[in-house]
Amino acid sequence: MTPPRNSNAARDIAYALHPYTDHKAHLQNGPLVISRGKGVRVFDEQGKEYIESVAGLWCASLGFDNERLVQAATDQMRKLPFYHAFTAKSHEPLIDLSEMLIERAPSPMSKVFFANSGSEANDSAIKMIWYMNNAIGRPEKKKIIARLKGYHGITLAAASLTGLPANHKLFDLPIAGFHHVSTPHHYHNALPGESEEDFATRLAEELEQKILAEGPETVAAFWAEPIMGAGGVILPPAGYFPKIQAVLKKYDVLFVADEVICGFWRTGSYWGSQTLDIQPDILVCAKALSASYLPISAVLVNERVFQGIAEGSSSVGTWGHGFTYSGHPVPAAVAIETLKIYDEMDIGGHVKKVGAHMQAQLRARFADHPMVGEVRGTGLIGAIELVADKDAKRNFDPAQKVGARLTKLGEQNGVIMRAMTNDSIGFSPPLIISEEEVDEMLNRVAKSLDEVMVQVRRESLSAV
């Protein structure tokens, strides 16, 4: 249906280029235009209400109308609306936020660098590692290993880390020097009868063999999300990260924890690294750092990495990296207020309570559903994976677009969802969600799932 001429939707079609969008389809269908938000809900321009089951993009942790964050931005705009951090310049919000992040880090960290997005932060970390190894006399130690289905952003280098086909096809990616090992998804990738522990051991052995094949003297770092987000909310098997870290330590390979989604209580701990027993050398965070009210991301590095950067900058005369808006005072002030709110309202305790309820309800409602192969998650992050054959763990043909159809039905029923790889439907509602709102959200999801099942069965009968 073509949007009315001169409507917001029609003007969007005429002028806007959207991320992660089929643009030929968009020319016909147009956008869903969101006009305001309140709590865990957003409203379109017709006033229709939706529960945001993914907090936008895993990120609106404090909902869509937090006045304290608005006031923090307003106050900082009046006091110092902009200043930069180049050439040893600084300002109080940058200093305060750096200190707060170092104090809250899951492993000993030394310094914080700020950027504007998770992609920029991961790209910056890559450059830091290359720079460090050049500075300390290891110019050959540059290769980076990530994982299939991992997501680390979409700049040239960050998209090379990412292990999803749609982020590589037609982009000439990944660039040289980036490698990927298996997805740690027991449901699909374990051998028949293989326990989680044995599966984890096999994956650690695969990583070791990859390092040996490339040459340990050439492998610089391993990248991982504690829980994979855009790859389908994939939790690693029991014992996975301790086994992986033992291999990395053996060959002097840095561990980079991508906490862009998992950080700031999403998994039930302050960091996903704490939930999954990770001691990173570098930590990347964004999204919930400012509850996504303004763009900001951070890279935390340990003392060893910092000393390499310091040595290089001394020999060159500068560390030639940074962004105009690195540590911008207004997003930094909002991030400071966000961290204070987390502490004051005991958001961790709330997530433990409401997250346990969401996990229980996801399993109670969907584990036995004929179209659901697996329910997974922890804290306030979870997923249901849709399958054509439950016993065989066989996914639907991607051409059927079952996940996308479910999300469209969800919009009709007042819930915004996200479909990912293998028709996995992710959930990461705002951390402030209540148990009652979780139930309301999942009621709408269940209704939509039953409706898409009717469609699929009707099509199956028609094909006979």
Other beta carbons less than 10 A from residue 163's beta carbon = 25
Q: Which amino acid is at 250?
A: K
Helices 240-250 and 196-214: crossing angle in degrees, nearest 10, is 20
**pLDDT tens, 258-279?**
999 999 999 999 999 999 999 9
Any idea which residue has 């749609």 for tokens?
A: 166
Cβ pair 101, 259 in contact under 8 A:
no
CA 258 – CA 377 distance, rounded (Å): 17
Torsion of CA 392, 393, 399, 401, to 10 degrees: 140
- Per DSSP, 7 falls in state S
What's the one-letter identity of residue 141?
K
Contact by Cβ (8 Å): 201, 243: yes
**Model confidence pLDDT, tens digit, residues 97-121:** 999 999 999 999 999 999 999 999 9
pLDDT tens per residue across span 393-421: 999 999 999 999 999 999 999 999 999 99
Q: How far is residue 450's CA from residue 26's CA, in Å, rounded to a whole number?
A: 26
What's CA 308's distance to the chain center, in Å? 28
pLDDT of residue 459: 87
Task: Establish whether the linkage from the previous residue to 295 is cis, with ω within 30° of 0.
Answer: no
Note the pLDDT of residue 464. 35
Residue in this structure with the two tokens 């690693």, named with its chain if needed: 236
Full-model pTM = 0.96
Q: 257: helix, coil or strand?
A: strand
**pLDDT for res 6:** 81
Instruction: Concatenate the DSSP letters of all residues of 424-445 into one string.
Output: EEEE---TT--HHHHHHHHHHH
- Of the candidates 266, 337, 321, 325, the one whose C-alpha atom is nearest the C-alpha of residue 297 is 325
Query: What does each of the 464 residues of the chain score in pLDDT, given as a tens digit?
Result: 667 778 999 999 999 999 999 999 999 999 999 999 999 999 999 999 999 999 999 999 999 999 999 999 999 999 999 999 999 999 999 999 999 999 999 999 999 999 999 999 999 999 999 999 999 999 999 999 999 999 999 999 999 999 999 999 999 999 999 999 999 999 999 999 999 999 999 999 999 999 999 999 999 999 999 999 999 999 999 999 999 999 999 999 999 999 999 999 999 999 999 999 999 999 999 999 999 999 999 999 999 999 999 999 999 999 999 999 999 999 999 999 999 999 999 999 999 999 999 999 999 999 999 999 999 999 999 999 999 999 999 999 999 999 999 999 999 999 999 999 999 999 999 999 999 999 999 999 999 999 999 999 998 865 43
Tell me how far apart the alpha carbons of residues 272 and 179 are, in angstroms, rounded to a whole number. 23
Strands annotated E in 39-96: 41-44, 49-52
Q: d(Cα 441, Cα 435) in Å, to the nearest integer?
A: 10
Where do runs of H (alpha helix) occur along 215-346?
Answer: 240-250, 272-275, 303-316, 329-344
What pLDDT shows up at residue 220? 98
Nearest to 325 by CA among 79, 86, 78, 80: 86
**pLDDT of 5:** 74
Domains of the chain: 32-65+346-463 (3.90.1150.10), 68-344 (3.40.640.10)
Predicted local confidence at residue 462, as pLDDT: 59
Q: Compute the distance between CA of residue 11 and CA of residue 20 in angstroms, rounded to an integer.
A: 19
